[in-house]
Chain A
């Protein structure tokens, strides 16, 4: 009885308020943009079309980069052998990260 008379009407008001706020957010452009907060909150999947796949696939080809065509040696010892055979100097690219990796 107590539940029916006191809690249920409050719940009805609360539900109405939530529905009203959601409707406002959907209509108001600023609030709607806020709803789309991006990668930090899970979003509905939109998928990738075949056309988009083909475009991105072409765009993300490493073989098109100028440095990718260089005939790299990956070992100092092998580079020394080739340099000795071909009478060329060695050009060493060294570092904590590999030149041919990451960004």
Chain B
């Protein structure tokens, strides 16, 4: 969520892109032992969300704020080291890196509230307004055999389940109640309905999408779902939707699934469901 607040200023984005080596990592679940040791060395303060600077050799450069001036102060204090040592990851650590199996395709999953928002007093603050307008983002993997099935005009059950499990996670709903989907001559259409255990919350969305192939390879997968959602869960602050939708409030939401360029750095970040390598088997075989 912090990215909406920190990384919306084009000057900040430009400074980070050109004068720093920007690095985004998930530290809460798994980190290679060598990298954990490095964070201790630079006296990284930890916490749920941090922006922290350091040198390649391992000297911490605390950042006091997230604005342009704070970042320029860090640059002023930075002195490049002569030939800093950067040890390679051990074989064991390399094996623990979460990477997609060969032939995996990546979908970008993007969601947002379209209308129906009622702002709480706290959320009327401009900063929180940014959070509310910020789309949610994740990735979803398509197994090689699932991609091949799509090229033959089939929509594999495992892929459907993975996709709509993701949608359920976005909207705090335990499971899909009804899913009717048709893939006919490259056109995907259908409806999905899910309810919370109480029956007071849930969503219903229609969807439309397009699948294209070239020489037996998946070249397009675009799907958009839109409908109404009522959140009956206590806001978990785990998603922009939690900010956007107060308990009991009904809003219009949309979710898109778009085939990503595998070379794109955003596509290389594992899906958020893969906290640890051990989660891979269950994720790929839902």
Q: Which residues of A contact B (CB under 8 A)?
A: 38-40, 42-43, 45-50, 52-53, 56-57, 59-63, 65-84, 86-103
Contacts and interface: CB of A to CB of B under 8 A. Distances in A.
A47 B206 contact: yes
A47 B23 contact: no
B20 A100 contact: no
B50 A40 contact: no
B202 A52 contact: no
Contact of B16 (A76, A81, A87, A91): A91
Contacts of B209: 53
16 contacts: A38-B228, A39-B229, A40-B230, A45-B191, A57-B224, A59-B254, A80-B86, A84-B81, A89-B75, A91-B16, A93-B23, A93-B49, A95-B27, A96-B29, A101-B138, A102-B138
A90 B61 CA distance: 9
Contact of A77 (B27, B35, B137): B35
Contacts of A39: 193, 195, 201-204, 227-230, 250
B69 to A, nearest CB: 15
A86 B139 CA distance: 30
Contacts of A82: 21
Contact of A100 (B8, B34, B63, B266): B266
10 closest residue pairs by CB, A with B: A96-B28, A103-B240, A79-B23, A67-B7, A60-B256, A83-B56, A84-B56, A103-B136, A87-B80, A95-B49
Contacts, number: 279
Interface-centre pick from B13, B57, B255 (highest chain A CB count, 10 A): B13
Nearest to A43: B204
Task: Give the contact-size bracket for chain B.
Answer: 35 or more
Nearest to B2: A99
Instruction: Determine the main DSSP class of B at the interface with A.
Output: mixed
A42 B228 CA distance: 11
A79 B238 contact: no
A93 to B, nearest CB: 4
Contact of B269 (A42, A49, A74, A83): A74
Q: Which of A79, A88, A100 has the most CB of B within 10 A?
A: A100
A73 B9 CA distance: 20
Nearest to A44: B191
Contact of B195 (A40, A48, A63, A93): A40
Contacts of A79: 21-23
